[in-house]
Structure 1
Amino acid sequence: MPDPERDFGVARFLAVDHADSPTLTPDGRLLFLADTSGTPQVWTVAEPAGWPDRLTPHEERVSALAASPTDEAFVYAMDAGSDERDQLFHYDLATGVERALTAAPDATHSWGAWGPDGDRVAYAANRADGARFDVYVQSVGGVAPDGSRDPAGDPERVFEGPGGFLSVAAFGPDGDRLVLTKAHSSYDEDLTLLDLDTGETTRLSDDTEATYSHVHFDGDGGLVCVTDRGSDTAYVGRVSLADGSVTPVAGHDDAGGDPGSDAWDVDGFAFDRDTGRLAYTVNEGGYSSLHAGTLATGADGDPTLDPVDAPTVDGVVSDLGFGPDAERIVFTHTSPTEPYGVWSVGFGDDTATEWTPVGTNGLPDDAFRAPETVRYGTFDGREIPAYWTLPPGVDPDDPDASVPAIVDVHGGPEHQRRPWFYPTKQFFLHRGYAVLEPNVRGSSGYGKAYAHLDDVEKRMDSVADVAAGVEWLHGVPAVDEDRIVAYGRSYGGFMVLAAITEYPDLWAAAVDFVGIADFTTFLENTGEWRRSHREAEYGSLADDYEFLQSISPLTHIENVRCPLFVQHGANDPRVPVGEAEQVAAAAREQGVPVETLIFEDEGHHTTSRENLIVEFEAIAAFLDEHV
C-alpha cells in the first residue's frame, strides 16, 4: 500500500485529461476531443499550449469528429448512456450553431466521410433493419446569400447493405463515388466501389483474406490505404480501380509477424491527394515509429515513396492527419508515463510540437511507471510478448517484497495491449500491485497468423497462455504467488472467467468487466449486426453450439475458488448485461464471494468520470479485502 501521506486516490489519477482525435479545418484551426469536463467533448486551441476553448456543451460522450474540407465547420457523433447508437451533428464554427443531422435514436450511425465540396456527408446506419447497415448520403445545408443557413437534407439511402456491418471508407474527389468496406471478420473485408449516379458496384478486393483501412483516392486511378492483402502483416498499398490489383508502397515485409520476428504492421496512415504527401506509423512491438514522404512513380511505373525526415517518438502515435496544403501533420501521442495529447510536426521536420499539454493534476513524476517488454514461454514452446511493470521501489529479485500482481488481459480478442497511458494501471501500481499485460495468441499487432491461433476450437489455447504468464510470475522472487489477480475487460473479461474456471488454484481474486460468461447466450443476444462477425471468431450457433457451451465459463462455474468482482453497463449492445447477471448469480450459488457493479447509464465502456471513480474505488476496496 502507498505511504498514507502520498495516497493520492483514484480520482486524482482519473482526472488526468485525455486529448485525442485531432482534425484541422481549411483555415488550419485545430479541433480535438478531450474529457476535461468528465466526458469527451470537442475543443479547439489556437496555438501550441494555448488555452483551449470547449465547443460542445454535452454530458454525453462525443465519439467521432471530422472537420469539413471546405468550410469552418465539423461533424461529430454522440450517443446516449454509452449505448453506441450514435447520432450525427453539424457544428458551424462561425456562428456556434449546432444542428442534429440524424434523429433516429434506435439506430447506430457510423461516421464515414465528407463529400469533396463540404455540402454532403456519407455514413452507414442500421436505420431500416437492426441487423443490416445501409449507406446514406445527406446534405448538411448551406449558407444562403443573406447569411442564413439552409436546413440539412433528409438522409438518402444510396446502397442497401448485404447484412451485418458496413462502412463508408472514402468519398471520391468528384463526389460521384464512395468506397465501402464490408467486414466478414476482423481479418476479412470486402472493398467495393459504389457509383452514386448509377448505383452500380465494383468489387476491388479478391477472394483472399485481407483488410483495408485509412482509404484515400490518389487522384490517379487508384486508392492508397493500409492493407495486408497477400501478406501476414499490413503495409501501405495502392489498389488499382481498374482491376483491383494491389502494389506495395511502403512498410511491406514478406516475413511473418509472429512475436520475435521483427516484421511489423503499418497501423496508421494519412494522405494528401493534392501534394501526394503521406505519413504512416509502424507498430513495432507495440511502440510506434513515424514515417513520412511523397508518393512517386518508380522506374518500373509502380508507385513508390520518396521519404523525408520524421521525428522519433517514444510511445504510441495514432490519428494521423494533414493540415491545409499538407504543411503540417497532426497526431495523438501517448506513452506509459505521458497522458494522451495532440502534437504536430512540419512535413519533413524531425521535431514535433505538443499542442495540448494536459498535465497530471500535480501528481509527481515518480507516480508513473514505465513497463519492461518481456516474453515468456507457453505450453507449445511459443513465446508470449507482455509488458511487465513493478511498483515504485521494488527490486524484482527481493523475495521479501511479497508484491501482489495483477494479470491484465486485453479485450478484442483481435486487439493488442500497447504502451499507452493508463491512469487506472498507474493507480494500482501506486497502491503496490505489479502488473503483467500479456498479448496472448489471438492478439493483433503480430500478423494474421498469430491472430488466428485462438480461432474457434483453439480458443482455450489463449487461456493456457494466461496460465503460463502466472507460471512466469511464480519465477519472479518479488511476487507473492498467493496474491495474483485475474483482471480484464470485454473479451478480456471472458479470459478472466475462463482462467478462474480452468485454472482455479492460480488466483487470489478476479475482476471481470463486461465479460462473456456463456458464448451461446452472448451470440444469441448481442447486436444482430455483430453476430456473424463474432461467429467467424468464436464459432457459430448453428454449427458449434455444443462446443461453445463446453468452453463457456458458466458451464464450469463450480470450479471457481476466488472472490469475484463483476462490472457491467445496462446499455451494453456488444456483451449484454445478462452475461454479468448470470455469472454473478451462478458464482454466488457456489458460495463464492461476489460483488457486482452495474451502471444503468453506461454501456460496454464506462464513459463518465463520475462513474469511473465509483467503479475503481469499489475495485480497490474489493482487492484490499481479498488480496
Structure 2
Amino acid sequence: MNTKLIMSICVSMLLLSCSRHDASKPENIKVASANVFQSYSAEAFFQTTSYGLANAKGYAWSSDNKKLLIQSDKSGVFNAYTIDKKGTQTLLTESDSNAYFVNSFFPQDNKIIVSADQGGNELNHIFVRELDGTLIDVTPGEKLKAFFGGWNKDNSAFYVWHNGRSSANFDLYSIDISNYQASLLFENAGFQPGPISKSGKWLALDKPRTSADSDIYLVDLSSEQKKPVLITEHQGNIAYSTYDFTPDEKHVVFSTNEHGEFNQAWTYNISTGKKSPLIADDWDVSFVFYSPSGRYRIHGINADGLTDITIFDQDTEKNLDLKGIPEGELGQIRFSRDESKLAFGLNTDTSPYNLYIASISNENDSIKLTNALNPEINENNLVTATVERFKASDGTVIPGILYKPKQASAANPTPALVFVHGGPGGQSTRGYSALIQHLVNNGYGVYAANNRGSSGYGKTFFHMDDKRHGQEDLRDIVEAGHYLRGLDWVDNKKVGVMGGSYGGYITAAAMTFYPEEFEVGINIFGVTNWVRTLSSIPDWWEAFREA
C-alpha cells in the first residue's frame, strides 16, 4: 500500500480520536491577533515532492558539469531525472510501479546507473540505463540484493556488492563497463561492507558485536589471500566504524568513542598501525569524506539534533562559506567533476528537502533548484521547532524537539502529542516532517522526545536502556507527557502518544502499562513481539545478528 496513504489514514484517525473530547476542532482556533489561522489537509501535506542526488560514491554531475543526476517522486513513484542550473528536469526512467533510485553518471557519457527492487520486495538490483533508454540488469538473480559501491581507479569498471552467493553476506564485485561482466573481488564472511580506497587496493570492513562494541578490519585486495586483518584490537566495550580512506591512501579514517562520551574521528596509519586524532567535538562526528580530488574534507557534527557541516579546503586551510542558505539540515554534498561547483540538499523545519548548487569561489549565492513543498501550502503557516529538555524523575535530563502550534496560547490551549522515534537507538532531529507539520498546523502540539537509549547524546545515555526496552525508556515517554501537561499552552486533559516501529512499540506499551497517562495512542506499524521480530530479520542483516 502507498506509504503516504497509510500515514494520512493514521493522522486522520489521530485527529478524530483527539477531537472526540470537544466539538470545537483545533484548526478553527483563532490566533491571538484575531486572524483566522490557515490550516491544510493531510492530503496537502503528503503531496510533498521528494528529491535526492546521486550516490556519493558515483558521479552526480554529468561529464560536462552542466547537469545533475537526481531522483524524484513527482510522478508518484521515484524515477531518475537530470536537472540543470535553471531547475529544468528531464525524465530518464518512466516507471509507474517500481521505484528507481540514482547512483551515478558514467564517467565519459550520459549513461547512468540506477537501482530498483521488484514490487517492493526490497531485493534491489543494479541497472545500467543505456543512451537509448534501455535498462540492463547487471546483477540478475531471483533472490539477490545488491547496492552500488563506486568506480575503480581508471573508470573501466564500477563496484557492486550483492548476496547472490550467500543470502547472508554481501560479496564485492567489479562490473566491466564494456560488457557488464562481473568479477568477484572479495568473498565476504560476515562483515559489514565499508569504503574502498581510490586505487582499489584497500577495503575496510566493519564488524558489529553488540550495540556497544564493534571492530574494523582491513583487506589488501591486491594480495592473493585477501584476508581481513583486525586493526582495532581492544579490551572492553568500544564502538568503532569506518568513515573513509584519506586521498593518499595512507590512512583509514574511522569513528571511535574510546576517548569520551561522543564519537570522534581518528586515523589509522596503514604502514605503522599508529592511531591519531583528527576531529573531536562536544557532539558525535557523524561522517567524514573527501572531494574527488582530495582537496576538500567534509565532516558533519550531530549538534543537538541538527547536523553542522564543515567543508575544509586542505590547500588554503580554510572552511568554505556557503552563502544564501537558510538554517537547516544540509546533506548530500556532491562536487562537480572540476570541483568548481557543488550540489547539496537542504531540509529545514518548514520546508522539505530541496536541491541547491553553489560556486566554490563564493562569488554568488547558492541557487535553489527545486520546490518540494506543495504550492498549496504557505510556508509561513508552518512552525519552526525548538530543542527543549525536561528532568526525569530519577534526575536524567531528556532532550526533545518541540513544535508549538501558532494557534496555541495560555488563552487557547491545544491538545498535544508525545512523538516517539524508531530504533531502538534512533533520534528525533530538527527538519521537515509532513506528518508532524500537519498535526501542528491543525492545532496539535508535538514533542518528539529523545528518551534514554536514543543516539546523539553520548554513549552513556545511548546504552541506558540496553536489554530494558519498555522500562526506563517507557517511563521517559510517560514523563514527557507530564512535561507537556505542564506547559500553559497545552490542554492538560488532551495529551496523547504516537510513534512507528520501536515508537509504535512504546506507544502500545504506554497504553497497556500506563493506561491512565494518555488520552489517545497511535501505534504505527509498531513492534509488539520482540522475539518474533529478532527471529525474522532478513538474512542480509547477518552482520548485525549477533549485536
TM-score interval, smaller chain: 0.7 to 0.9
Q: Please name the residue that 2:495 is paired with.
A: 484
Name the counterpart of 1:19.
51
Matched, 1:118 2:168: no
Task: Give the match's secondary structure for 1:530.
Answer: helix
Q: Is this contact kept in 2: 1:186–1:533, CA < 8 A?
A: no
Structure 2 residue identity aligned to 1:503: Y
Distance 1:531 1:410, change over 3 A: farther
Structure 1 residues 273 and 19, CA gap change in structure 2 (3 angstroms):
closer
CA distance in 2, matches of 1:277, 1:137: 28
In structure 2, the CA distance between the partners of 1:266 and 1:371, relative to structure 1 (3 Å rule), is: same
Q: 1:239 aligns with which of 268, 271, 282?
A: 268
Identical amino acids, percent of aligned pairs: 21
Give the equivalent residue in structure 1 for 2:80. Answer: 42
Matched letter for residue 263 of structure 2: A
> Which residue does 1:205 correspond to in 2?
231
Match of residue 180, structure 1, among 205, 226, 251 = 205
Structure 2 match to 1:501: 512
Secondary structure of the 1:454 match is: coil
Give a deviation string over 1:142-168, Cα, whole Å, max 9, x none. Answer: 2xxxxxxx3x114x33333333x6224
What is the match of residue 608 of structure 1? none
Aligned match of 1:334: 347
| 2:22 aligned residue | none
Q: Aligned AA for 2:524?
A: F
| Corresponding residue number in structure 1 for 2:432 | 421
TM-score normalized by structure 1? 0.74
Cα separation, partners in 2 of 1:504 and 1:185, compared to 1, 3 Å: same
Q: Extract unaligned runs of 5+ from structure 2.
A: 1-24, 29-35, 55-59
Deviation larger for 475-484 or 333-342 = 475-484
Question: Contact between 1:191 and 1:212, CA under 8 Å: does it hold in 2?
Answer: no
Residue matched to 2:70: 32
- 1:286 corresponds to which letter in structure 2? G
- Compare 275-284 and 518-527 and name the one that shifted more: 275-284
Q: Is 1:354 equivalent to 2:368 in the alignment?
A: yes
Counting only pairs closer than 5 Å after superposition, residues 422-571 of structure 1 correspond to structure 2 as: 422-457=433-468, 460-530=471-541, 533=544, 536=547
Instruction: For residue 70 of structure 1, report the CA deviation from its aligned partner.
Output: 5.1
What displacement does 1:69 show?
Answer: 4.6
For the Cα contact (< 8 Å) 1:289–1:313, is it kept in 2?
no
8 Å Cα contact 1:286/1:316 also seen in 2: no
* Residues 68 and 114, structure 1, Cα contact 8 Å, conserved in 2: no
Question: Post-superposition shift, 1:220?
Answer: 4.6
What is the CA–CA distance in structure 2 between the aligned matches of 1:370 and 1:472, rounded to whole Å?
20
Shift of 1:213: 4.2
Q: What amino acid does structure 2 have at the position aligned with 1:406?
A: L
For residues 357 and 439 of structure 1, the distance between their equivalents in structure 2, rounded to whole angstroms, comes to 30
Q: In 2, Cα distance between the equivalents of 1:249 and 1:71?
A: 37
CA shift for structure 1 position 523: 1.3
1:90 aligns with 2:128: yes
1:421, distance to aligned residue in structure 2 (A): 0.9
**Structure 1 counterpart of 2:229, one-letter code:** R
Partner of 2:104: 66
1:407 partnered with 2:435: no
Q: Deviations over 1:460-509 (max 9, x none)?
A: 22111111101101211332333222211112122212222232211222
Q: 1:372 to 1:534 in 2, by over 3 A?
A: farther
Cα distance in 1 for partners of 2:271, 2:393 equals 48
Q: 1:106 aligns with which of 124, 143, 150?
A: 143
Structure 1 residue 410: Cα displacement: 0.8
| Cross-structure match for 1:281 | 300
Cα distance change on mapping 1:160 and 1:329 into 2, 3 Å:
same
- Aligned-residue RMSD, C-alpha: 2.7
- Could you tell me how far apart the structure 2 residues matched to 1:431 and 1:325 are? 47
Q: CA offsets per residue over residues 416-452 of structure 1, 9 Å max, x none?
A: 2111211121111222211110111121222323222
Separation in structure 2 between the aligned mates of residue 205 and residue 459 of structure 1, nearest angstrom:
36
Within 2, Cα distance between the matches of 1:230 and 1:78?
41
Q: Which residue of 2 aligns with 1:623?
A: none
**Structure 1 counterpart of 2:172, from 118, 136, 150:** 136
Distance 1:124 1:480, change over 3 A: same
User: What CA distance in whole angstroms lies between the structure 2 residues aligned with 1:489 and 1:531?
Assistant: 24
1:269 aligned to 2:288?
yes
Separation (CA, whole Å) in 1 of partners of 2:50 and 2:206:
30
Deviation at 1:125, TM superposition (A): 2.5
For 1:447 and 1:535, locate their aligned partners in 2 and report how far apart those are by CA, in whole Å.
23
> How far off its partner does 1:377 sit?
1.0
Give the partner amino acid of 2:404.
L
Q: Secondary structure at the match of 1:103?
A: coil
| Equivalent residue runs for 1:275-424 within 5 Å | 275-295=294-314, 306-311=317-322, 314-347=327-360, 349=362, 351-395=365-409, 397-398=410-411, 401-424=412-435
Contact 2:207-2:543 within 8 A present in 1 as well: no
Which one-letter code corresponds to 1:453 in the other structure? M
Cα pair distance change 1:111/1:308, threshold 3 Å: same
Q: 1:374 to 1:483 in 2, by over 3 A?
A: same
* SS of residue paired to 2:534: helix
**Structure 1 unaligned blocks of 5 or more:** 143-149, 254-262, 297-304, 537-627
User: Which deviations, in whole Å up to 9, do the C-alpha atoms of 1:7-62 show, x marking residues without a partner?
Assistant: 53222111121212342234323112222112322221111x42211222223223
State how far apart, in whole Å, the 2-side matches of 1:51 and 1:387 are. 36
My pick for the range that moved more, 174-183 or 462-471, is 174-183
Q: Is the 8 A contact 2:200 2:221 kept in 1?
A: no
| CA positional deviation for 1:5 | 10
Asked whether the 8 Å contact 2:141–2:164 carries over to 1, the reply is yes
1:526 Cα deviation after fit: 1.9
Deviates more, 1:436-445 or 1:507-516: 507-516
SS of structure 2 residue aligned to 1:453: coil
Whether 1:161 aligns to 2:169 is no
Q: Quick check: 2:242–2:252 contact (8 Å CA) kept in 1?
A: no
Gap change, CA 1:194 and 1:166, over 3 Å in 2: farther
Provide closer, same or farther for how the CA distance between residues 271 and 532 of structure 1 changes in structure 2, counting only shifts above 3 A.
Answer: closer
CA deviation after TM superposition for structure 1 residue 67, in Å: 3.6
SS in 1 for 2:317: strand
Q: Does residue 113 of structure 2 align to residue 75 of structure 1?
A: yes
Distance 1:118 1:54 in 2: 25
1:223 maps to 252
Q: Alpha-carbon deviation of 1:265?
A: 1.8
Task: Please list the CA deviations of residues 172-199 of structure 1 after superposition, one character each: whole Å capped at 9, or x if unmatched.
Answer: 3333443333343555242422414524
Deviation string, structure 1 residues 389-436 (Cα, Å, up to 9, x no partner): 1222211x33xx342212111112222211121112111122221111
Partner deviation per Cα, 1:485-538 (whole Å, 9 max, x = no partner): 2211112122212222232211222222222111111112222343672653xx
